Structure 1
C-alpha cells in the first residue's frame, strides 16, 4: 500500500484549513490510533462501495469507473482488521480549473461528475470535492479522513454536501460554510471550507450564456456549424444523416457563450407531442450550464405552444442527464441504434403555460414572431396612421376578386 499519513497535527508545511476548535477537539479522541489511512486496491474499492450502497445513494458504477480511470487515487480507507465492512473510507474529486468553474457556476453534479473536472494522479488540485464519506458509528473516523484531504490537497479549499440534517449540523460545527457566500451561482447544497487567513479562491469569470430561436439565415448557419463540429466531427455522422431534410420545418435554438455559437437544439411538432432533437454542445463548452439552458428553453417553448407531452431519443449514456428534467424511459421499448450509436426512447409530461397558444387566440398574437408571443409584433409597431399612402397604393395596384353581386350577369352564364 502507499500514501500512509501521519498522526493528526503532523502535516508539516501543508496549509491549514479553517476548521473550528470543535473539529480538533473531536479529532483528539483518535490520537494514538494505529489504524493507517491508505489507498485501497480495486477489489477493496468495489467491496467498500457495495457495502456503502446499502446505506446511501451513489453515483452509477460506470461513472465511478470513469473517474477512477482518470485518477485511481481518489479513494482512501482506514484499514481496521480484515473485515472491509468495518473500514471507514472517503472518496474525493481533486478538481482542476474546469471542476472549480462547474462548482462555481452551479453546473456541478456529484451523482454525474465529468472526469474532465478532476486532475490526474500526481497533479496538484485547485480544490477538492468530498464525494463520499462512509464512517458508520464513529464520527471521528470521518474527521480523520477529512484531515487527510487537507494534506492530499496541500490545504486547498474543500467543497462538500450535507446528505441529511445531521450531516449539515456536523459540517457547520467544524467550519464548513454555504458556498453561495463566496460563489453566488454555486449549487444551493454546496458547502465549502477555505484555508485559514485567506480569502476564497478567485471565481473564474462567469460566461454569458444566451439561448435564442434562430430567426435569420446567419443564425441557422451558426446552428449548422455547431452540429458539424459535434455530430459530424465526433460521432462521424454523414452529411445526409446530419442534414436530414427536416431543418426547415422545425424550430432551431441557438446557444451562445460570450457571443460564440456553442450549442443548439431542434424541435419538431407532431399532432399531440413535440420531439426534442439535435441537442449539441461544442466540446470546449461542456463544463458550462449551456446544455441545461438549451433543454429548459426547449421545454418552455413547447409549453408556450400548448404541448403537454414531449418525446426524445436519448443517447444511452445520457439517460441520467435527461432524467434530471423529468424525462422517463418508455416502458417496454428496447434500445435501438442509428448511426452506430445506441439510443433510448424517453418522454416527459409537462404543463402548458397559462397563456399557451391555442385555437381561438388573438389573431394579432398568432402572427407575432415565434417564441415572443408576449410582445407586440411588427404589425403592431407601425406608426400611428400606418404606412403613408399604403392603403391608396393597395387600392391602385392590388388585384381583388369581386363579390358575386358585383359581377356582370353574363359572367355566370355557363354556355
Structure 2
C-alpha cells in the first residue's frame, strides 16, 4: 500500500519542508534573543565596521557617506552586537528611496557608493522602495536581520518594495529563501539583476502571475501552467520518481484517470523540472492535489511556491473556495496558507492513514476571468490570461488569408 494517499494534499516531502522551515524559524528566534539591534549610530564605530565588512564584501561606501545617510534617515543604518558586547560587530544598511530614487536605481543613475540626497527620503517620509544596500552579519548576528525586517513591515514602510541584488548562487538561494522574487519589471524592461519583495499596489499589479513566472531564458527558475505534452511527461516523471519510486505507490493509484481533467502546474529550478501540483475544478470549489517535489530539491521553496501559485490560479479563475485532504500530522503545513478544517467534517481513513478535509476561503483576484472580459482573453491558453494569445495574433493575417477574399 502507498505510504501516502494519492488524493491528499499533504505529501511527506511537503511536510519535511514545513518541518525544516519551522526549525529554521525557531533557530532564528532563539538566536535573535542573543543579539541587540539599534539604529543609533556612533560615527566613531563606522570606520572599524566598514574595514571588517570590506574584507568579506569588497568595496563599500566611505565612512562619511555612511554617516551622511544615517543623518538623513536613522532607519537606513542598523547595528548588531551580541548581547553583552559594548560595541557593534555587524550591520545592515538600506537606501530608503523616493519614487525618483527607485527609477534611478533601475536605470543605473543611482550612485551606490555615494547615493545622491535627492533620491533619499527622511525619516518622516514614506519611501517608494527599500534597497538593501549592504549587510555584514557574521555568525549569530544574522538573526538581527529579521528584527530590521520587522521594522520595515510597520505601517510606515509596508507599501515600499524591498529590493536587493546578488551575484552568487549562494546569494540567489538566500534571496529566494527570504521571499524575494528574481527579476523586476521596469518601464517595459525585465531586469534580472535585481530581487524584489513587491509590496506597493503598482508593483503588485505589474508583477507576473505566480503561476506564470517561468521563462527558459529570462527566468529559468519559476512556475508555469502545463499546456503541452512535453510538460505532461515532465509531470509524470516527477510524480513517478516521488510516489512510485520513493513511496511504492501502485501505478493505477498514482495515475488515477483524473490527470486529463485537471490543470497542472510545473516548477523549474535553473530549467530543471523539480515539482508539480494538480488542480481540479468543480462548480463552486477547486481541489488541490498531487503536490510533489523531487527529493534532491526539497530544501528549496518549491513546495511553498507551488501552493501559492495554485491559490493564485484559483483566484484568477474566480473561485472562492479551495478544498483538499491532508493527513492529520501534516495539517500545520496547510494551515500556514490559510486552510482550515472543514466544518462538521469527520476524519476518514484510507491507505492506512487518517485524513481530514480542509477548506480555504479566498477572494477572486481583481482581474478574475468573467463574462465581462474581452472575448479574446477567454480564449487565451490556460494560465496565460495576462498576455495576448495565438488566436489574437491570428487576426493580423486574416486579410491575407485566401478565404477572406472568397
If the length of structure 2 is used for normalisation, what is the TM-score? Answer: 0.50
Given the superposition, is the C-alpha separation of residues 335 and 235 from structure 1 closer, same or farther in structure 2, using an over 3 Å criterion? farther
Count, aligned residues: 239
Relative to structure 1, the CA distance from residue 331 to residue 256 in structure 2 (aligned partners, 3 Å threshold; closer, same or farther) is same
2:259 counterpart of 1:302: no
Aligned to 1:56: none
Distance 2:143 2:361 in 1: 29
* Higher-RCO chain (CA-CA 8 Å, sequence separation at least 6): 2
Q: Structure 1 residue 111 and structure 2 residue 22: aligned?
A: yes
* 1:271-295 Cα shifts (integer Å, max 9, x gaps): 1110011011111111101111100
In the alignment, the residues of structure 2 paired with residue 241 and residue 213 of structure 1 have an alpha-carbon distance, to the nearest angstrom, of 23
Q: What SS class does the counterpart of residue 291 from structure 1 fall into?
A: helix
SS at match of 1:111: helix
Could you tell me how far apart the structure 1 residues matched to 2:364 and 2:144 are? 28
Structure 1 position 188, deviation (Å): 6.1
| 1:369, distance to aligned residue in structure 2 (A) | 0.9
Among candidates 172, 196, 204, match of residue 206 of structure 1: 172
Matched residue SS, 2:396: coil
Gap regions ≥5 residues in structure 1? 1-65, 68-101, 115-127, 141-167, 192-201, 396-415
Q: 1:277–1:312: 8 Å Cα contact kept in structure 2?
A: yes
Higher-helix-fraction structure: 2
SS across alignment from 1:331: coil
Where do residues 66-105 of structure 1 align in structure 2 (5 Å cutoff)? none
Which residue number corresponds to residue 146 of structure 2?
A: 189
**1:295-318 Cα distance to aligned partner (Å, 9 max, x none):** 011000000000011111123332
User: What does 1:112-151 correspond to in 2, within 5 Å?
Assistant: 112-113=23-24, 129=27, 132=30
> Which structure 2 segments of 5+ residues have no match?
1-14, 36-78, 94-131, 149-167, 174-219
Pairing 1:273-352 to 2, within 5 Å after superposition:
273-352=285-364
Listed as ranges, the matches of 1:36-55 within 5 Å are: none
C-alpha deviation, 1:362, in angstroms: 2.0
Give the secondary-structure state (helix, strand or coil) at the position aligned to 2:172: coil
Correspondence for 2:282 among 257, 270, 295: 270
2:374 corresponds in structure 1 to 362
Question: Per the alignment, in what secondary structure is the counterpart of residue 224 of structure 1?
Answer: helix
Q: CA deviation at 1:335?
A: 2.8
Q: Tell me how far 1:238 sits from its aligned partner.
A: 0.8
CA distance in 2, matches of 1:369, 1:113: 39
Give the Cα separation in 2 of the matches to 1:307 and 1:315. 24
Per-residue deviation, 1:171: 5.9
Q: 1:300 to 1:390 in 2, by over 3 A?
A: farther
Give the whole-Å Cα distance in 2 for the aligned partners of 1:186 and 1:248. 47
TM-score of the superposition, structure 1-length normalised?
Answer: 0.49
Q: Please, what is the CA RMSD of the aligned residues? A: 4.1
Query: How far apart, CA to CA, are the structure 2 residues paired with 1:134 and 1:303?
Result: 36
| 1:183 and 1:203 in contact (8 A); partners too | no
Secondary structure class of the residue paired with 2:371: coil
Residues 188-217 of structure 1, C-alpha deviations (whole Å, 9 max, x = no match): 6278xxxxxxxxxx8725365311111110
- Correspondence for 1:407: none
Distance in 1 between residues matched to 2:144 and 2:242, nearest whole Å: 28
- Shift of residue 133, structure 1, vs aligned partner: 7.6
Task: Provide the C-alpha distance between the structure 2 equivalents of 1:173 and 1:350, rounded to a whole number of angstroms.
Answer: 47
Q: CA deviation at 1:230?
A: 1.0
Q: Is the 8 A contact 2:29 2:143 kept in 1?
A: no
